[in-house]
Amino acid sequence: MTMGVPQFHLYGEDTDDEVFDFIHVETIVARSSRHNWIIAPHRHRHLFQVLILTEGGGTATYEESEHVFAAPCVLLVPPLVVHGFRFTPGTVGHIASFTEDVVRGAAEARGNAYERLIAAAAEPVLELHDPRDADRLCGLIRDLHDERFLAREGHALAMRALVTLIAIEVGRLKLAAARSRSTGAQAPVERSHPVVDQLKGLIEDHYRHERQIGFYAARLAMTPDRLNDHVKRIAGVTVGHLIRHRLLTEAKRQLVFTTLAASEIAYDLGFADPSHFSRFFRKHAGLTPQEFREGRRGGR
C-alpha cells in the first residue's frame, strides 16, 4: 500500500479498479454536510466529476492551486487530479461522477465528448454568466438525478444519454468562452490516442518502480525506439518525460498534501535513497523538496 494522498472510488469509499460503465449523481449537501462542508484533498482513479452549483460557493483545491468559485458555475475534475473543496454551508447543486467509457463513444464532428470535457477541464471552474446556460445544465443534471433515484424502465440508457449531453454542453460553453476571450479563434481540443492512453495507464500502474522505456515498450508490443518516436509524434514529448513528470507530480502532491518526511516520500516513490530523490526533484522542479514544501504551504 502506498502512502500519500488518499484515492477513493467516491469520496470516503474504497477504490474500485474494476469499475466500468459507472454513473453516480447526488446533491452537494448529501455528502458535504456530513463532513462540515469540507471535502479533504483526494483523487479518483477512474472517475470524471462534474459539479453544477446553483447557490453558494467556496474554494476548490486542484493539485497545488486554489480557485474561488461562486454559483452559478460548473466545476470539472478529471481522473487522478488531486482535488478538495471547502463549500459555503448551504451550497446547493449536484455532482455527477462517471467513468470515461460512458461518453467515450459520443462522436461529434470535431472529436468526441470526453475529449472535449478533458480539454475543458484545463480550466476547472466555468462561470455561467447567461441564466439560460445555467438553466440548461441544471435541468440536465436534475433529470440525471431523477433517473437514478426513480429507476424507471430504461433509466440506465437515459442516464448515459444525459451524461453525454452534459459533457457536450460543458464543452460547448468552454469553447464559447475561449472564443470570446480570443476574439473568435478556435480553441484547440486535446486529442487522445490509444497507444498514448495505454502508455499513460501503464505508467500510472508502475511508475514507482519501473523507469525504463523497455518495460513499457514490451507491454505495448513495440520496440523502445518505435514507442518513443510514436509518443513524440503524438504527444510532443518522450516516454522518459512522461515517466519523470508522473514521478514529479506525485512528489509534489505528497509534499503539499501530506506531512510525510522527504525521506519517506523518496522510498515510497522507489528511489534508492533520499539524496537521489532530492537531486531528481531539484533538477526538474528547480527547488529542493523542503523549499518547495515551505513555499507552497506558505502561500496556502
For residue 163, give every residue at least 6 positions away whose Cβ sits within 8 Å of its Cβ, in sequence order, or none.
Answer: 23, 96, 98, 102, 103, 144
d(CA 129, CA 123): 16
For residue range 254-266, list pLDDT tens digits in order: 998 889 999 999 9
Q: What is the pLDDT of residue 184?
A: 44
For residue range 125-141, list pLDDT tens digits in order: 999 999 999 999 999 99
Q: How many residues does the chain have?
A: 300
Q: What is the pLDDT of residue 297?
A: 63
Q: What is the pLDDT of residue 209?
A: 94
d(CA 187, CA 250): 29
Looking at per-residue pLDDT, the higher value among 236 and 247 belongs to 247
In the chain, % of residues over pLDDT 90: 67
Helices 131-150 and 155-181, interaxial angle, to 10°? Answer: 160
Asked whether residue 199 carries a pLDDT value surpassing 70, the answer given is yes
Q: How confident is the model at residue 109 (pLDDT cuts 50, 70, 90)?
A: very low
Q: How confident is the model at residue 186 (pLDDT cuts 50, 70, 90)?
A: very low
* Lowest mean per-residue pLDDT among 30-39, 142-151, 181-190: 181-190
Q: How confident is the model at residue 106 (pLDDT cuts 50, 70, 90)?
A: low
CA 42-46-49 angle, 5° bins: 65
Read off φ and ψ for residue 233, nearest 5 degrees: -70, -40
Q: What is the mean pLDDT of residues 53-66?
A: 94
For residue range 142-173, list pLDDT tens digits in order: 999 999 999 999 999 999 999 999 999 999 99
Q: What are the structural domains of the chain? A: 7-181 (2.60.120.10), 194-298 (1.10.10.60)
Asked whether residue 41 carries a pLDDT value surpassing 90, the answer given is yes
Q: What is the pLDDT of residue 3?
A: 64
Q: What's the Cα-to-Cα distance from 59 to each of 96, 118, 123, 128, 174, rounded to whole Å?
A: 19, 21, 14, 17, 20
Residues paired with 93 in a beta bridge = 53
Report pTM.
Answer: 0.77
Over the chain, what is the mean pLDDT?
A: 88
* Lowest mean per-residue pLDDT among 201-215, 244-258, 285-299: 285-299
What's the distance, Cα to Cα, between the start and end of the chain in Å? 29
d(CA 104, CA 37): 32
Asked whether residue 110 carries a pLDDT value surpassing 70, the answer given is no
In the numeric block, the cell 460547448 is attached to 172
**For the CA atoms of 205, 253, 72, 24, what is the dihedral angle to 10 degrees?**
30
Q: What is the pLDDT of residue 53?
A: 97
Q: What's the Cα-to-Cα distance from 254 to each of 7, 63, 77, 179, 210, rounded to whole Å?
A: 13, 10, 19, 36, 19
